């Protein structure tokens, strides 16, 4: 291994990679040494983009050359060599990866291994992008496997971080087909916040679609309703082309889910302020105010939150006839005294 510490590291890797590719393809008794050779790479102190690209090519050849899971360890070793050292905080890398059709086999093999770090390696490879490649086009295939992970024992912090980025890229529709129950469980385990997101606009779209789904209204925890409001305040365009239907408010009121209703009313008022399309039953601010006052009677603290959320908007297209506080004072004039007592 002294050769790898020389100044000609990239050239050495290129030459060794050719030998590795031949060894992987050829059925020979000496190929039993392949896992040991790959394992030795884990001890390399020098890791660079050239090695990442070579290791990703090895993954393709391993998947292409073997139809069974007998060579699972070879694949996991190759992934570890190429991606274990990479940070998942940033999906932009200098390595130029060539996505081959054979790479698709990695999904079944890696997820069936049940190894958190190996799954994180795969996600790191498939979510990465450079000037020459985008995330793997088959990334959406991970959705059904991710949905199952919500029921598994503790997941490594690195994989949790990888899952946050992957869910963002996959989007809600794929998880809807795979089963939204799994996405509900994943979100509960991830505890995603804005700081974890690479693209908060994409997360906003995902949460809006999820929350508006029949399963999401009751299944999504209150944490994500409030997170959606924060994302909408930052990116009001998320609501463009969306119609705010009153059925969500009715459902939340019927189940007395006042915390979620508080967040949803924030979203509806933001949509109204920005001139987004509302349901015909909510065409005027007077009608919105009546529903909002019903919330205030059950949850007086919602006044301050709505003022904060809607008040943070820049250049709203519509102006309310009165502030939330004025509306609240009219319907609950003795609320402050009662709260004090």
The string of pLDDT tens digits covering residues 54-71 is: 889 888 888 877 655 566
pLDDT(2) > 50: no
307, 264 in Cβ contact below 8 A? no
| Per-residue pLDDT tens digits for 226-284 | 999 999 999 888 888 877 777 888 888 888 899 999 999 999 988 888 877 777 766 66
Out of 78-82, 90-94, 257-261, 319-323, pick the least confident: 319-323
Band of residue 8 on the pLDDT scale cut at 50, 70, 90: low
Higher pLDDT, 148 or 47: 148
| Confidence label for 218 from pLDDT (cuts 50, 70 and 90) | confident
What pLDDT shows up at residue 223?
A: 94
| Whether residue 287 has pLDDT greater than 70 | yes
- Is 60 exceeded by the pLDDT of residue 339? no
Instruction: Say if CB 81 and CB 55 are below 8 A apart.
Output: yes
Average pLDDT, the chain: 80
Owner of token pair 């004039």: 333
CB 181 within 8 A of CB 219: yes
99-133: pLDDT as tens digits: 998 899 899 999 988 889 999 999 999 999 998 99
Q: In which element (H, E) is residue 210 found?
A: helix 200-212
Q: What is the DSSP letter of 220?
A: S
> For residue 299, is pLDDT > 70?
yes
Gap between the Cα atoms of 241 and 205, Å rounded: 11
200: pLDDT strictly greater than 80: yes
Report which secondary-structure segment, H or E, holds 100. Answer: none
Q: What is the mean pLDDT of residues 156-165?
A: 88
Averaged pLDDT for residues 298-313: 86
Question: Does the structure show a pLDDT above 90 at 144?
Answer: no
The pLDDT, as a whole number, for residue 228 is: 95
* The dihedral formed by the CA atoms of 224, 229, 235 and 239, expressed in degrees to the nearest 10: 100
CA pair distance 297, 275, nearest whole angstrom: 27
- Binned at pLDDT 50, 70 and 90, residue 77 comes out as confident
Let me know if 266 is exposed, middle or buried by CB neighbors in 10 A (0-12, 13-18, 19+).
buried
**Structure-model confidence comparison of residues 336 and 80, the more confident one:** 80
């Amino acid at each position: 291994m002294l050769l790898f510490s020389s100044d000609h590291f990239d050239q050495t890797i290129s030459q060794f990679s050719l030998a590795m590719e031949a060894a992987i393809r050829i059925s020979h008794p000496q190929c039993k040494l392949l896992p040991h050779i790959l394992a030795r790479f884990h001890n390399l102190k020098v890791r660079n983009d050239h090695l990442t690209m070579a290791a990703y090519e090895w993954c393709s050849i391993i998947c292409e050359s073997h139809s069974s899971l007998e060579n699972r360890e070879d694949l996991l070793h190759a992934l570890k060599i190429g991606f274990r050292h990479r940070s998942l905080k940033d999906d932009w890398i200098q390595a130029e990866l060539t996505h081959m059709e054979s790479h698709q086999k990695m999904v079944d093999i890696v997820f069936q291994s049940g190894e958190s770090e190996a799954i994180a390696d795969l996600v790191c490879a498939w979510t990465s992008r450079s000037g020459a490649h985008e995330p793997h086009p088959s990334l959406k295939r991970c959705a059904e496997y991710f949905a199952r992970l919500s029921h598994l024992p503790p997941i490594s912090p690195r994989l949790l971080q990888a899952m946050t980025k992957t869910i963002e890229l996959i989007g809600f529709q794929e998880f809807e087909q795979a089963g939204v129950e799994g996405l509900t469980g994943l979100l509960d385990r991830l505890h995603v916040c804005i700081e974890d997101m690479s693209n908060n606009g994409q997360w906003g779209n995902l949460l809006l679609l999820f929350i508006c789904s029949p399963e999401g209204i009751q299944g999504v925890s209150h944490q994500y309703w409030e997170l959606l409001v924060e994302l909408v305040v930052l990116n009001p365009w998320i609501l463009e082309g969306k119609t705010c239907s009153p059925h969500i408010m009715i459902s939340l009121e019927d189940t007395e889910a006042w915390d979620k209703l508080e967040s949803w009313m924030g979203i509806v008022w933001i949509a109204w302020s920005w001139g987004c399309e509302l349901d015909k039953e909510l065409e005027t601010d007077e009608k919105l105010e009546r529903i909002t006052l019903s919330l205030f009677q059950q949850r007086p603290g919602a006044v301050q939150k709505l003022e904060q959320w809607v008040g943070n908007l820049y250049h709203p297209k519509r102006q309310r006839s009165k502030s939330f506080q004025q509306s609240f004072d009219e319907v609950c004039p003795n609320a402050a005294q009662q709260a004090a007592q």
